[in-house]
Amino acid sequence: MYYNSILETIGNTPLVKLNNIADDIPGTILVKVEYFNPGQSVKDRIGIKMIEDAEEKGLIEPGGTIIEGTSGNTGMGLALAAVIKGYDCIFTTTDKQSKSKIDLLRALGAEVKVCPTDVEPDDPKSYYSVAKRLSEEIPNSYYPNQYDNPSNAQAHYETTGPEIWDQTEGKITHYVAGMGTGGTISGTSRYLKEQNEDIKTVGVDSEGSVYKKYFETGEFDKDEIHSYLTEGIGEDIIPENMDFDQLDDVMQISDKDAFLTTRALAEEEGLFVGGSCGAAVHGALEYARNNEFGEDDLMVIILPDSGTRYVSKIFNDEWMKEHGFLDSDAE
């Protein structure tokens, strides 16, 4: 057996049981390890889906250019598909993203433009605005706009949700995922709740994001917005893919808790993953500890990406100490 291209290897990622860092919690805690995808993240699923849907609609022609704003992982998914399908790529990203993410995108032949983080989304210098402007200026270009593109959530409705349902033999009781564009959590939750409406979906947000307060009050509060270092979750906008009706609760996690849990996953579980993975696991375990999680419960947590993206940051003691996440005498 062989695959016709690397794109056919996307999906069907494994579920792995957490043992050591969840040993005080009854029931079963599983993680879906998305770094088994060829681009080492969950975003491979939406990269190919958004491009193929665009092709079907005639939104991009052969030899065209894909232009997207990305924290890195969606760019990788799009770039992989572009290599196979013969498209060029231009990605905009923010200056808080790790250098390794940018280098990986360039390794796949993409052009990357780094934009400032601390500007309003509608500022002409924001990575949202720059991507949109370039897509208007460059002929035969396609701007997927993962935030509002329904193909994002649909990819997870068609793949991630069914995989989790089948892998747990329908026994899943709780689903947990980070909240970034909203596609992963919303599309997967929609499928799972269609199978069993009693499944609880817990979103994990980052401190400095508008999501948690918006979920609880319906108010978009700009005063909630401040800088944070966890990549890939939280927003200063409300994307169309973020379907709050799919959520039962939202946990908001600090950078420190996210990053220390990320390191614990490597050191205690052998799972070398990224910072949003640590945030998701920390939020999931806190939820389980505080919500009468029982012996018969089965939780699945999405681990979006690989630790290879964060070697110079989360797994670098000096960087962690500089930002106050490790004691100065920590080994």
Query: Would you name the residues annotated as active-site residues?
Result: 43
> How far apart are alpha carbons 68 and 92 in whole angstroms?
6
Tokens 């690989």 appear where?
A: 306
Other Cβ atoms less than 10 A from the Cβ of 34: the count is 27
Q: How many residues does the chain have?
A: 331
CB contact at 8 A, 21 and 268:
yes
Using N-to-C axis directions, what is the helix angle for 44-56 and 73-85, rounded to 10°?
Answer: 50
> How far apart are alpha carbons 229 and 325 in whole angstroms?
11
Please, what is the Cα angle at 64 between 61 and 67, to 5 degrees? 120
Strand partners, 112: 91
**For residues 231, 236, 238 and 242, what is the CA-based torsion angle, rounded to 10 degrees?**
20
Question: 141-142 and 249-253: which strand pairing?
Answer: unpaired
